[in-house]
Amino acid sequence: MKNVKHAQCTRCGRTVPAVPDLTACPCGGIFDIIYDYAYIKTALTKDVLARRQERSMWRCREFLPVEEDTVLPPLRVGWSPLYEAGELAKELGLRQLWVKDDGLNPTASLKDRASAMAVAKAREAGARVIACSSTGNAASSLAGNAAAAGLETYIFVPSRAPKGKVAQLMTFGATVVSVQGSYEDTFALSRAAISRWGWYNRNAAINPYLSEGKKTVSLEIMEQLGWVVPDYIAVSVGDGCTIAGVWKGLKDLYAVGFISRLPRLISAQAEGCCPLNRAVEAGEPWRPMEENTLADSIAVGVPRNADKALSAIRESGGLTVNVSDAEIMAAQKLLGRTCGVFGEPAGVAATAGVKKLAEQGKLPHDASVVSIVTGNGLKDVANAIAACGEPITIPGSMDRLLDAFAARGIAP
Ligand SMILES: *Cc1c(COP(=O)(O)O)cnc(C)c1O
Ligand SMILES: [Zn+2]
């Protein structure tokens, strides 16, 4: 890889070659991939990029840690739409708001960006089997992207994972183990199984390439905005791999001069499970928390990318915001009604956070904000119905329709 120098541990600073099956550092820290920005500058300009036909996460391969001859996995991941959300901005009293709908990825979450990267690296490593533990979306995205690439998957999910995600896993032909316990228990079992059978490891705690895949969301946002930097980018946070990736992508663009300043991050967590935000707010190391929220994808009591996530939030001068389940459900409805975007609970947590910060006066009125929707609402219809209500249910009769409308004050 001409564009990559090496990997460096984010905790102890040790540097090692960026081999495809790189795992965590012996010190326990996660590696970061270090690029040769001088080379990237010569290889890619904004004009060259603007003329590219490729509309996927692989659009800027110069920024990605894959060999030139690597056969990329077939599903079309990335280049999701960035919608200007004028109506929602007005309701929240913000100057400009955009919604990046990453629920439109092939398995319907932002995790596809990491899983496609994992599949590419597994192929480079010559692996035939990939495994991971996940709150749900990492699992379904890995199963789908691996199936398309002809690789076998072993997946560990906590038994609370919503049915939609489990249905995806079964459809993609994964071997699925539903663990009766917390995400922490699930993770521990997957780790033991992976070391026993030597599978390629797609766990966020271990694999440094996942946040490199996820960073493509930032590369896209900035290109879609014509390189005009927003004041804030809001992300929902569980393990912390996503927000770390978002920050990495921005720093890459800054390093090659594609953008001239960096946005501030907004880290949105659930009130019932916010170990990373609590650490930032208290200026202390993070401590484990209960996993007490309906937003299953961010119910992570022991975050696996804490180091990278905390430095991303702190370096960016970021804001933290913790949202209740009721606020998450309200945001689901608000985003649906004003934007036509259907997010799962964790998927809309960032938008719930933006709304809360705006209402608390913590965002200036002239602020421009991008809110990333990280997962699709169809994955968890039970919570969507709970948030947004049941339809009018009547027999097929005009009289009953008139009665029902009258009773609800609906005047077509
Ligand atoms: C995984 C996930 C997140 C959080 O990403 P982390 O890397 O765990 O912080 C947010 N939203 C959705 C829908 C997810 O699947
Ligand atoms: Zn180390």
pLDDT for 338 equals: 97
Cα gap 207→194, rounded to integer Å: 13
Cα gap 294→289, rounded to integer Å: 15
Report the nearest atom of ligand 1 relative to the CA of 343: 13
C-alpha 39 – ligand 1 centre gap (Å): 32
Residues 6+ apart with CB under 8 A from 167: none
Residues across the chain? 412
DSSP helix/strand/coil, 121: helix
Within 158-226, residue ranges assigned H as helices are: 163-171, 183-197, 210-214, 216-224
Strand partners, 268: 236, 321
pLDDT for 183 equals: 84
To test the pocket of ligand 1, the residue of 115, 117, 137 to mutate (highest count of ligand atoms within 8 Å of its CB) is 137
User: In what helix (H) or strand (E) does residue 270 lie, and over which residues does it extend?
Assistant: strand 264-270
List, edge to edge, every strand of the sheet that includes 368-373. 82-84, 96-101, 368-373, 232-236, 264-270, 319-323
| β-strand pairing of 129-133 with 152-158 | parallel
**CB 137, CB 165: distance < 8 Å:** yes
Ligand in nearest proximity to the CA of 346:
1
At residue 270, φ and ψ (nearest 5 deg) are: -85, 140
Ligand in nearest proximity to the CA of 310:
1
Ligand in nearest proximity to the CA of 32:
2
To test the pocket of ligand 1, the residue of 132, 142, 239 to mutate (highest count of ligand atoms within 8 Å of its CB) is 239
To test the pocket of ligand 1, the residue of 80, 134, 243, 298 to mutate (highest count of ligand atoms within 8 Å of its CB) is 298
Cα gap 314→318, rounded to integer Å: 6
Ligand in nearest proximity to the CA of 297:
1
C-alpha 69 – ligand 1 centre gap (Å): 30
Ligand in nearest proximity to the CA of 7:
2
Report the nearest atom of ligand 1 relative to the CA of 114: 7
Report the nearest atom of ligand 1 relative to the CA of 211: 7
Please name which of 62, 98, 59, 61 lies closest in space to residue 81, comparing C-alpha atoms.
98
- What is the pLDDT tens value at each position of the chain, 412 positions in all? 999 999 999 999 999 999 999 999 999 999 999 999 999 999 999 999 999 999 999 999 999 999 999 999 999 999 999 999 999 999 999 999 999 999 999 999 999 999 999 999 999 999 999 999 987 899 999 999 999 999 999 999 999 888 888 999 999 999 999 999 988 899 899 999 999 999 999 987 789 999 999 999 999 999 999 999 999 999 999 999 999 999 999 999 999 999 999 999 999 999 999 999 999 999 999 999 999 999 999 999 999 999 999 999 999 999 999 999 999 999 999 999 999 999 999 999 999 999 999 999 999 989 999 999 999 999 999 999 999 999 999 999 999 999 999 999 999 9
Please name which of 239, 103, 242 lies closest in space to residue 165, comparing C-alpha atoms.
103
| β-strand pairing of 129-133 with 31-35 | unpaired
Q: State both tokens at 27.
A: 């010190």
Cα gap 137→66, rounded to integer Å: 23
**CB 327, CB 356: distance < 8 Å:** yes
C-alpha 372 – ligand 2 centre gap (Å): 31
DSSP helix/strand/coil, 9: strand
C-alpha 120 – ligand 2 centre gap (Å): 25
pLDDT for 206 equals: 87
Count Cα atoms within 13 angstroms, Cβ side, for 108. 18
Cα gap 100→98, rounded to integer Å: 7
Report the nearest atom of ligand 1 relative to the CA of 309: 9
Where does ligand 1 bind, in terms of residues with CB under 6 Å? 109, 111, 137, 204, 236-243, 297-298, 300, 344, 346-347, 374-375
C-alpha 371 – ligand 1 centre gap (Å): 14
Burial environment of residue 189 by CB neighbours within 10 A (0 to 12, 13 to 18, 19 or more): middle
Closest Cα to atom 14 of ligand 1: 297
Amino acid at 142: L
C-alpha 29 – ligand 2 centre gap (Å): 5
Q: Given CA atoms 286, 287, 292, 298 in this order, what sign does their dihedral have?
A: positive
Burial environment of residue 381 by CB neighbours within 10 A (0 to 12, 13 to 18, 19 or more): middle
N-terminal to C-terminal alpha carbon distance within the chain: 62
Report the nearest atom of ligand 1 relative to the CA of 236: 10
To test the pocket of ligand 1, the residue of 111, 132, 328 to mutate (highest count of ligand atoms within 8 Å of its CB) is 111
**CB 241, CB 304: distance < 8 Å:** yes
